[in-house]
Amino acid sequence: MLPEDVGLPTSGRRRVPGLRREEVALLAGMSTDYSMRIEQGRERGPSPQVVEALVKALDLDEEAAEHLRRLARPTGRPARRTRHVERADPHLRRLLERWDDLPAFVLGRSLHILAGSHLADALHKDFVLRGNLAHMVFLDPGARRFHRRWDRTADMVVAELRRATGVDPDGPRLKEVVGELSVKSPDFRALWARHHVHGKTGGAKLLHHTDVGDLDLRYESFTVNRAPGQQLVIHQADPGSRSHDALKLLGTLSAAPLQPGRPSVPAPSPSRSSGGRDAHEE
């Protein structure tokens, strides 16, 4: 948000874009000193009225607003936490094992991949780091080749991790993932500093696989009721599109090695339409 967006005058040179601390305080109807104490964590219990004033002043969307409300809620003394290994529900694992025609996988709160279908494994074949989605995006050397819109994917991954920290701020695995990426990836550090908050819902994924070429897919994300914080993510292609044929080919190529004398499967024709959708990746 810029000063002119909220009717504030601009003067002098600004080192960073966006509103200054004193401008946010003015819009929220509080003193600059009080807003600074909130920002620095020295004010532990802002009232709901103060929180809603900040939501309005910063023009937060509902997801970011709820993240701020969670952070502002008073909490008791942190309970001593034991390390808990997050696992996918066995019934969900069996479902994924039978899911032959779609890339689908279960994500934990810290974006660890807890289970996946055979086609999901085949889709991620080129990655060296395959245990955690955030590691794959920021630390794997093949990420920028695989994600044709890497910048959008990276932003979404960081926003999802930021949202997760508001839900489970003391989660040890989540702290480990954020800490490791902060040390090893300058790109992650820059995006993390923006404080964007967003959860996975659905959108387009523009990918490239070494075996079958470009893939224009649509993903949908569903919460797992048996395990709060886990998500089932499913990718699919438009029926009749080149990407649909490419997914079928990928499943065939990864099913079993060709036997001697067995004919190979032809690659999908590049002349096939991608379904006419103008993919907008989220």
CATH number (domain holding residue 220) = 3.30.450.180
Does residue 105 sit in the same domain as residue 235? yes
Claim to verify: residue 63 and residue 97 sit in the same structural domain: no
- Quick check: helix, strand or coil at residue 259? coil
Token code pair at residue 183: 């040390």
CATH number of the domain within which 26 lies: 1.10.260
Does residue 279 register a pLDDT over 50?
no
- Distance between CA 55 and CA 28 in Å, rounded? 8
164, 218: one domain: yes
Indicate if 245 and 116 belong to the same structural domain: yes
| Residue 163: per-residue pLDDT | 86
**Residue 279 maps to a domain:** no
CA dihedral angle for residue 175, residue 180, residue 185, residue 189, rounded to 10 degrees: 30
Domain span at residue 197 reads: 90-255
- State pLDDT tens for residues 8-40: 556 656 565 566 667 667 776 777 777 777 766
pLDDT at 70 over 60: yes
In a domain? residue 197 = yes
With tokens 């079958």, the residue in question is: 212
Rg (CA), the chain: 22
List phi, psi (to 5°) of 101. Answer: -105, 0
- 249 in the same domain as 114: yes
Among the residue ranges 55-69, 162-176, 189-203, 255-269, the one predicted with the least confidence is 255-269
Output the pTM of the full model: 0.67
Per-residue confidence (pLDDT) for residue 194, from 0 to 100: 83
Average pLDDT over residues 84-95: 83
Residue 189 is assigned to a structural domain of this protein: yes
Percent of the chain with pLDDT over 70: 66
Report yes or no: 219 and 231 within 8 Å, Cβ to Cβ.
Answer: no
126 and 239: one domain?
yes
Residues 216 and 174 in one domain: yes
- Token pair for residue 76? 């008791």
Per-residue pLDDT tens digits for 188-244? 999 998 887 766 677 899 999 999 999 999 999 998 887 878 889 999 999 999 999
Select the highest-mean-pLDDT range: 43-47, 87-91, 175-179.
Answer: 175-179
Domain-located, residue 280: no
Integer angstrom CA distances of residue 134 from 72, 131, 138, 139, 269: 27, 9, 6, 8, 33
Number of compact structural domains in the chain: 2
Are residues 106 and 245 both part of a single domain? yes
Q: How confident is the model at residue 48 (pLDDT cuts 50, 70, 90)?
A: confident
In terms of pLDDT, which residue wins out, 36 or 269? Answer: 36
Helices (H) and strands (E) in the chain, counts: 12, 5
Residues 52 and 136 in one domain: no
For residues 67 and 94, membership in a common domain is answered with no
User: Is the same domain home to 61 and 140?
Assistant: no
C-alpha 122/C-alpha 237 separation (Å) is: 16
Are both 111 and 235 inside the same structural domain? yes
